Structure 1
Amino acid sequence: MHLTAQRSVSAVAGASRKPAAFVRRTRGGSARGSGAVDQLTGVVFQPFSAVQSELATVDRTKEAVESFARVSFTPACEAALNEQINIEYNVSYVYHALYAYFARDNVALPGFASFFKAASEEEREHAEMLMDYQNTRGGRVRLASIMMPEMEFNHADKGDALYAMELALSLEKLNFTKLRELHDVADENGDAQMCDFVEGALLADQVKSVKQVAEFVSQLRRVGKGLGVYEFDKKLGDLAAAGAA
């Protein structure tokens, strides 16, 4: 046992003089830099010289001032994420105003109210998703001011239902454009992981939202401002109830 241990130590010591980070077994089964440990595992680990620079970065991080998790995450990507967080909250605020409008007793379209309330919550969830991602990458969330939305949506020619849905469509399309711009920032900075996040977690759902609201606009343009809106409101209420189930 003592002799075997000495040979193992010698094998490791001999391997440590090799420049490669790993010493691997060859196809024929023999190992480059042969030794007892090498023959057992096929791989002998040596510390990477490159890790020293990362270790120095961790050493310079004082208390909780800087993130330990931050790696290959540019200030441009961090700023773009904070801008998108603000956009999501602003869109959510407008939808919340629409929810309050349609819930009035003298408007009394509960389907529209439920639809816009759900839309407001969804946009707020997107903002929180972006905040979580910012923290995951080691960035710092910086919340900005939210614009006060309009509270009256009754249009003289279109009526409130069609006008509100056209407003929603413009917001969804604008949000899609902003997400594309966010993706462009990540791509320009070579952040493949952030590109994947924007594509998979946000852009895919945004395309569906644009399509759905566009169909609602087309349907509302057909039904007019009277009984058709009432029937359409019941449809929205059924959709909201199915989504909550």
Structure 2
Amino acid sequence: MAEPRSKRPRGTLPACQAHRAGPSSRVRHSFPAAVEEGVCGVTSALLELAYCLQALGEYFDQSHVALPNVSKFFLHQALEERKAAEALMKYQQERGGHYCSKTIQKPNCEYAVGLMKALELAMVQWKTMVRYFEELYALSIENADPHSASTIKKQFIGPKIQKIKLMGDLLTNARRLDCSQDGRNSLGDYFMDRLQEEFRTGIEPCLPLQQCTGAAEALKQPPRESSQHRNGIGPICATIHCATMLPQRNGGIGAKVKQGREGL
């Protein structure tokens, strides 16, 4: 028999237990204190994740590792997580709450000295964040806050699930290439850095075949006539200009145009 909803444990949601309610705001409406504490704690967890990804990006940019595309990938992901934390802060302010600043802990990623370890660490971190957001979503439903539940589900849970799928694909390719796990750079690491599409952030991806075909068909179509062409001004001017540039031979186009001008 399942337990009642009210007695189910909260799990591992990093709710801010020391959260202090700010001054009363006129915009605050149906924003439970428990949800505000959960949003505050998840925001700090997002900042810690961004710090961890930034540390991984800086590691792969060192001279003895020399995987610049992998470094750019992790730094870009760190920037996205930081933007997600800022978006959560903005949402909290819109609902009349506030974020209480905390000390961001040092990331525990010293053991991730290889590409395989770094990818596994990133996937574990994103799985943890998805669990936090799912618990926060359930907490919002329990406290009758459908607005927070809808925002968390659409803007945060969905993108994190896509990132987990991305890390799974990268880990599969890394195992195929036998990438290093102990910090010893291998040929597989070099191939992943140079050939993996997700790591090549500086190169724009090619257009799909359908878009390329559509662009080619658009080039084949004749250009649309402007208003000047429709009223007859454009073609006459173009004809006179092109005819005057031709050599005036006997019976040629240039001579006929000249005779026409004299007749006018």
TM-score by length of 2: 0.63
Contact kept? 2:89, 2:99, Cα under 8 Å: yes
1:232 aligned residue (184, 192, 199): 192
1:70 aligns to what? 28
Partner-residue secondary structure (3-state), 1:117:
helix
Consecutive unaligned residues in structure 1, runs of 5 or more: 1-63
1:131 to 2:89 alignment:
yes
Contact kept? 1:94, 1:150, Cα under 8 Å: yes
1:112 to 2:74 alignment:
no
**Alpha carbons of structure 1 residues 97 and 116: separation in structure 2 relative to 1, 3 Å:** same
1:203 aligns to what? 157
**Alpha carbons of structure 1 residues 80 and 154: separation in structure 2 relative to 1, 3 Å:** closer
Contact kept? 2:72, 2:201, Cα under 8 Å: no
Shift of 1:146: 1.1
Q: Number of paired residues?
A: 176
Mapping for residues 6-85 of structure 1, pairs under 5 Å? 65-85=23-43
Q: Distance in 1 between matches of 2:35 and 2:129?
A: 17
Contact kept? 2:112, 2:121, Cα under 8 Å: no
Runs of at least 4 residues off by over 6 Å? none
**Alpha carbons of structure 1 residues 172 and 240: separation in structure 2 relative to 1, 3 Å:** farther
1:176 aligns to what? 130
Contact kept? 1:99, 1:113, Cα under 8 Å: yes
Shift of 1:215: 1.0
2:218 aligns to what? none
Partner-residue secondary structure (3-state), 1:70:
coil
2:172 aligned residue (210, 213, 218): 218
Amino acid across the alignment from 2:81: E
- Quote the RMSD (CA, aligned, Å): 1.7
Consecutive unaligned residues in structure 2, runs of 5 or more: 1-21, 180-185, 206-264
Q: Distance in 2 between matches of 1:72 and 1:147?
A: 32
Amino acid across the alignment from 2:200: D
Amino acid across the alignment from 2:115: A
Identify the structure with the greater helix proportion: 1
Deviations 1:44-98 (A, max 9, x none): xxxxxxxxxxxxxxxxxxxx93211001111001100000100100000000100
1:98 to 2:56 alignment:
yes
Shift of 1:162: 0.5
Contact kept? 1:85, 1:127, Cα under 8 Å: yes
| Percent identity (aligned) | 28
Amino acid across the alignment from 2:148: M
1:6 aligns to what? none
